[in-house]
Structures are given as structure tokens and as C-alpha cells.
């Protein structure tokens, strides 16, 4: 599968189609990448999509989470968790949810790691493995990383991720109405 093409920047989240007015549930997986610093901004922007969750009350197990969610977004996806997913390892709640994921539902992932890690040959194989499962990549970008290096490996911009989620939800809702 091809990575999602980035939407045009500046498309306001508030201007949503009527397709997104129905309630949708998104499960957001977070890994140990330094790009997790963007999580508060990502959540703030995702919550602006009409019909998304405002909170959950009771803790649930990985099977209940996979049933609850309409879409799963793993942002950022660090090199360690990428390797686990590509090899079927499920040793924590996030990897267990992904291992139990309903393959009829979309799963999007946003790789984020140091450029040297991104450029290692195993990374391309692992990303392709996830894509072969039907998961959709929101590609990392080139920029100056927190470590000071400059190159590919930074998590996609928040607006790119949010627009990709909206696009998938709209597409899924349209196909369910057909």
C-alpha cells in the first residue's frame, strides 16, 4: 500500500464535512519516541474533529479497546515498537491491542526516530511488513531532530496526521453508507 498523501496545509479542522458529524472513536497509541512531546497538541487538534470522544470512564483490556475504536492511530511509532509489531511481539498494552486489531478497521502509523535509525536497512523492511498487514503509513519528514541531527525521521506534522485521520474516517463512513 502507498503511504497516505499529505493533505494541503491550512485546511481548518473546524470546517468538517457532514460525514464526520456521526460519533467516531479513535484509539491513539503512543510509543517512546521524543516526538511524543507533540501528543498534547495532537490530542487538542483531534478533539476538534466533530463527533470524536471527549473521554472514557472505566479502564478496559486490549480486546475491549479494539472493539471500542473505529480507527487506531499510533503516533509516534518509535523504532522499538515498529520492530515489535513487524515481528508479532505483543508485550505491552499497545502492542497487544495492535496484535488483536480488527483488520476491517483502519490502523494508521506515524514513524518517528533518529535519522540513522530511519536509514538502517531493517527499518524499510519493518515498515513494509506493517503495510503488508494493511496498515497505513503517514510518512516521517525531514527536519532538525531534538538530538540536533537533521534528516528524515521526524514524525509527520500534526496537521498532516489530523487531516489523514479525517480523510480515512470520511472514506470509511461513505463506504459504510453505500
- Pull the grid cell for residue 91: 508485550
pLDDT the model gives residue 91: 93
* Stretch (H or E) spanning 44: helix 39-46
**3-state SS class at 161:** helix
- Intervals of the chain under pLDDT 50: 1-16
Active site residues: 147
Domains of the chain: 40-113+140-178 (3.40.50.1950)
Write out 75-144 in H/E/C secondary structure.
EEECHHHHHHHHCCCCCCHHHHHHHCCCCCCCEEEEECCCHHHHHCHHHHHHHHHHHHCCCEECCCEEEE
Give residue-wise pLDDT tens across range 65-77: 888 899 999 999 9
pTM for the model: 0.70
Nearest by Cα to 49 from 171, 173, 177, 162: 162
| pLDDT on residue 64 | 83
Residue 7 CA to residue 92 CA, distance in Å, equals: 32
pLDDT of residue 12: 47
Q: How high is the pLDDT of residue 13? A: 46
Distance CA 5, CA 12 (A): 18
Amino acid at each position: 500500500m502507498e503511504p497516505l498523501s499529505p493533505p494541503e496545509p491550512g485546511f481548518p479542522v473546524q470546517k468538517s464535512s457532514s460525514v464526520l458529524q456521526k460519533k467516531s472513536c479513535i484509539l491513539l497509541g503512543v510509543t517512546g519516541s521524543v516526538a511524543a512531546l507533540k501528543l498534547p497538541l495532537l490530542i487538542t487538534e483531534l478533539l476538534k474533529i466533530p463527533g470524536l470522544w471527549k473521554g472514557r470512564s472505566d479502564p478496559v483490556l486490549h480486546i475491549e479497546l479494539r472493539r471500542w475504536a473505529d480507527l487506531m492511530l499510533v503516533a509516534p511509532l518509535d523504532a522499538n515498537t515498529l520492530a515489535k509489531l513487524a515481528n508479532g511481539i505483543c508485550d505491552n498494552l499497545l502492542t497487544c491491542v495492535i496484535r488483536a486489531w480488527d483488520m476491517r478497521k483502519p490502523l494508521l502509523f506515524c514513524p518517528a526516530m533518529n535519522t540513522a535509525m530511519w536509514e538502517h536497512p531493517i527499518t524499510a523492511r519493518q515498515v513494509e511488513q506493517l503495510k503488508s498487514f494493511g496498515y497505513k503509513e503517514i510518512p516521517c519528514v525531514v527536519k532538525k531532530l531534538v538530538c540536533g541531527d537533521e534528516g528524515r525521521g521526524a514524525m509527520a506534522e500534526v496537521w498532516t496526521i489530523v487531516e489523514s485521520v479525517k480523510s480515512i474516517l470520511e472514506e470509511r463512513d461513505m463506504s459504510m453508507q453505500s
